[in-house]
A = this chain, B = another copy of it.
């Protein structure tokens, strides 16, 4: 399979979408990307598993990273891609092959950018963190991720979204004592006890802090509940799984301490957590990016791999075409005009041109 980096960005997006690449099966799309980049004389290209990294080496004062994952969630009857009235439909159109197409176009067509650029196309973003290709690169080839600033080309509707919120999951457990349900007063019903956990959640007031001028919005929600032994038994355990989305002024450790305070008196077991990233828009590289691409930045509320760059000490923002709300839906789509708009803005930035509203 081949892709043509000199086709227009919407066309290139469709080519990428039509190479199915559900997480774990990115071989063919990584091969196609590598094969398309290798002939370009201004780039040095490296391959690590199903990740491809291409870099300019112009000796510029600043190096920026443009990154995008090449995997998708499972196909939902929405392949191959379909173009209709200026909208491209299909699995991965918004999340995030349109962003990947823009980055590939820039890699091919801006041979002498004002800043040195590292293009990172990586695998397994849509699955558990341990398999994430960016994490693997950061462990095996940290040298490839050196840089002053990163743009993660996740869908943001062509608006700069700064930082990201952290996410933590915990199991809150209510205990009881089993009994036959015909003599329920001999036991203690753990599901009824779990009403106290739901009381906490129903009474929770989310914090909406301003951080570096952006408005974050926390959330604490049950995402699962389960309890029950048999249809005639008073259950002795009920587990509520909560998902805490926390603003990036809390570390993961702070967030856990807060969660334990909120559920004081309950058995709390944290099952996974990932810290967020502060927006860092005051950093010179980030400020220059915002100035070049224009628009009013807003907070990123969902967790993204900008947090990985943050952990590597690299300021990062999210910026890309497409509506993030459409990610992972059967009706996922992206507007052709939004892809072109993103490419134009990024091109101005990489060329060192000032922003001017069209």
Is the CB of A333 closer than 8 A to any CB of chain B? no
Which A residues, 131 to 157, have Cβ-Cβ distances below 8 Å to chain B? none
A183 to chain B, nearest CB (A): 6
Known A195-B199, A202-B195, A226-B226; contact A182-B221, beta-carbon cutoff 8 A: no
Is the CB of A245 closer than 8 A to any CB of chain B? yes
Stretch of A62-70, A106-114, A235-243 contacting B (4+ beta carbons < 8 Å): A235-243
Please indicate the chain B residues that have their CB under 8 angstroms from the CB of A184 in the complex: 219, 221, 245
The answer on a CB contact under 8 Å between A226 and B223 is: no
The answer on a CB contact under 8 Å between B191 and A222 is: yes
* Pairs A–B under 8 Å by Cβ, sample size 6: A181-B221, A182-B303, A183-B302, A184-B245, A189-B222, A223-B229
Total A residues in contact with B, Cβ cutoff 8 Å: 45
The answer on a CB contact under 8 Å between B169 and A231 is: yes
Per CB-CB distance, the 10 closest pairs between chain A and chain B, nearest first, are A224-B228, A195-B198, A182-B302, A191-B222, A184-B219, A181-B243, A182-B301, A225-B227, A184-B221, A191-B225
- Closest B residue to A233 by CB, please name it: B223
Is the CB of A2 closer than 8 A to any CB of chain B? no
Please indicate the chain B residues that have their CB under 8 angstroms from the CB of A192 in the complex: 198, 201-202, 221-222
Known A182-B167, A217-B185, A302-B180; contact A243-B231, beta-carbon cutoff 8 A: yes
Is the CB of A165 closer than 8 A to any CB of chain B? yes
The answer on a CB contact under 8 Å between A225 and B226 is: yes
Query: Which of A189, A221, A228 has the most chain B CB within a 10 Å cutoff?
Result: A221
- Closest B residue to A186 by CB, please name it: B325
The answer on a CB contact under 8 Å between B243 and A232 is: yes
Query: Which of A222, A227, A245 has the most chain B CB within a 10 Å cutoff?
Result: A222
A164 to chain B, nearest CB (A): 9
Please indicate the chain B residues that have their CB under 8 angstroms from the CB of A195 in the complex: 195, 198-199, 201-202
Known A182-B301, A185-B217, A301-B183; contact A231-B226, beta-carbon cutoff 8 A: no
A215 to chain B, nearest CB (A): 13
**5 extra interchain contacts, Cβ-Cβ under 8 A, other than A223-B228, A225-B225?**
A167-B181, A181-B223, A189-B222, A223-B232, A225-B228
Is the CB of A338 closer than 8 A to any CB of chain B? no
A334 to chain B, nearest CB (A): 18
Please indicate the chain B residues that have their CB under 8 angstroms from the CB of A325 in the complex: 180
The answer on a CB contact under 8 Å between B221 and A189 is: yes
The answer on a CB contact under 8 Å between B224 and A231 is: yes
A320 to chain B, nearest CB (A): 17
Is the CB of A14 closer than 8 A to any CB of chain B? no
Please indicate the chain B residues that have their CB under 8 angstroms from the CB of A264 in the complex: none
Please indicate the chain B residues that have their CB under 8 angstroms from the CB of A61 in the complex: none
The answer on a CB contact under 8 Å between B189 and A194 is: no
- Closest B residue to A231 by CB, please name it: B223
A155 to chain B, nearest CB (A): 13
Which A residues, 188 to 222, have Cβ-Cβ distances below 8 Å to chain B? 189, 191-192, 194-195, 198-199, 201-202, 206, 217, 219, 221-222
A328 to chain B, nearest CB (A): 9
